[in-house]
Amino acid sequence: MAFKTISVIGLGYIGLPTAAVFASRKVNVIGVDVNQKAVDTINKGEIHIVEPDLDMVVHAAVTEGYLKATITPEPADAFLIAVPTPFKGDNHEPDLSYIESASKAIAPVLKKGDLVILESTSPVGATEQVAEWLAAARPDLTFPQTAGEESDIRVAHCPERVLPGKVLEELVSNDRVIGGMTSKCTEQASALYKIFVKGECVATNARTAEMAKLTENSFRDVNIAFANELSIICDKLDINVWELISLANRHPRVNILQPGPGVGGHCIAVDPWFIVSKTPGEARLIRAAREVNDGKPEWVIEKYKELLSTLLLANPSLAAKDVIVSCYGLAFKADIDDVRESAALKIAKAVKVIHPGEVYAVEPNIQGDVSGLRNLDLQSAIEKAHLHILLVEHAQFKGECPDSKYLIDTKGLWC
């Protein structure tokens, strides 16, 4: 089946690159977003998010006429929903309201033969829920949950698995899990992705595809929690955890990830809760891993308090308000400028609140101050501070390090 027009709903970190890559293959793409400013920016051939090379691809797609953005959905042959799935309330319950709004917004323009794909990371059952919302809005059309293989509209889940910072490359080269509600849904969705995907399009059903995405990020979260727990144990036992892990990883079947200040970003710290919310009684290890990783910033803050006391005991002439603290790195991981859900930023902000003296930050990937933290260059921060907290292993930090015993190195770069 030929896809003449594709519509992408949600023009954020995943939707916009996906829309641009389809358009770069000379398919007409209608991008839909509720944010008028984002729509206007894209229609000028510009972008509103940070991702290497995306500006060029969007600019080319818009100028050549293959990509346009709008607030209101228009008819298309395939609709990809790539909207956020945040939490609602404090209980880590997934909030499907954006997916619900997107489904209800496209329902009026659906026609027989169309394909609807949910790309947003979702709890198991969300794709079936999308089909229910669509069916309720369009009783004149048939859907897979009732008509099976003969349905007018095909519905599938195809989770994205791209790494922020490498989105354009990984969109094309990664294998893709394609989970249709029926075999025909899967076939049609595979045909769509084959327009640009060079990796394999692997067929499964919608529920397995949903769970596959959650499993990938939970696997990483559990492994990082193991490393973080080891780091706390090793601190107590006076063992260098990085040396320990590198020794253990010499075993051919052991591959432990790295400890850090905690897990940040909008994927790994979020997705495991989608499994916990569906199966709270069973997902015990997955929940415990989340709690270990979420507890790590607090442990680092306690370390700062202990180190400050040691420093003051050793230097009776210094008062706490005279002690200068430098925090190195604020982003949620190395070599990016993204501070969303960053454990490093959380720690630096908390230290700033409780520390009576000056607290500086060094975030070389961001211009200017961040969340009220004075952003210094590395050299000045090292020279000025009495107490140092390394939070992110940015490339810029690899050469120089403070010559001080008052150092908390959460990434094993300087110790």
Nearest to 370, CA basis, from 400, 338, 401:
338
| Site pattern 219..258 for ligand SAJ (x: CB under 6 A) | -x---x--------------------------------xx
Looking up tokens 């698995």, which residue turns up? 161
- For position 48 contacting ligand SAJ by CB under 6 A, the verdict is no
Give min distance, CB of 169 to ligand SAJ, in A: 12
Instruction: By CB under 6 A, tell whether 180 contacts ligand SAJ.
Output: no
- What one-character DSSP code corresponds to residue 357? S
Q: What are phi and psi of 19, to 5 degrees?
A: -60, -45
CA-angle at 399, arms to 393 and 402, nearest 5°: 85
DSSP letter, residue 203: E
Check if the beta carbon of residue 56 is closer than 8 Å to that of residue 17. Answer: no
Q: Which of 30-38, 80-88, 260-268, 279-287 is the region at the interface with ligand SAJ (rule: CB under 6 A)?
A: 260-268
Closest approach of ligand SAJ to the CB of residue 168, in Å: 13
Within 13 Å and on the Cβ side, how many CA atoms surround 377?
Answer: 2
For ligand SAJ, the closer CB: 7 or 121: 121
- The residues annotated with a catalytic role in the active site are 213, 267
Least gap, CB of 261 to ligand SAJ (angstroms): 8
Among 102, 268, 307, 351, binds ligand SAJ (CB under 6 A): 268
The verdict on 161 binding ligand SAJ (CB under 6 A) reads yes
Q: Give the nearer residue to ligand SAJ in terms of CB position, either 160 or 229.
A: 160
Q: How far is CA 146 from CA 63, 131, 139, 179, in A?
A: 43, 10, 12, 18
Residue nearest to ligand SAJ (CB): 267
The CA–CA distances, whole Å, from 387 to 63, 222, 236, 242, 290 equal 52, 31, 21, 22, 29
Min separation Cβ 396 and ligand SAJ, Å: 16
Q: Which of 163, 254, 319, 395 binds ligand SAJ (CB under 6 A)?
A: 163
CB of 322 to ligand SAJ, least distance (A): 32
DSSP for 73-131, please give it.
----SEEEE-----EETTTTEE--HHHHHHHHHHGGG--TT-EEEE-S---TTHHHHHH
How far are the Cα atoms of 302, 357, 397 from residue 375, in angstroms, in the given order? 23, 16, 14
Taking the least distance from each CB to ligand SAJ, the nearer of 45 and 165 is 165
- Is there binding between residue 162 and ligand SAJ (CB under 6 A)? yes
157 makes contact with ligand SAJ (CB under 6 A): no
Chain residues in the site for ligand SAJ (CB under 6 A): 121, 160-164, 216-217, 220, 224, 257-258, 260, 263-265, 267-268, 332-333
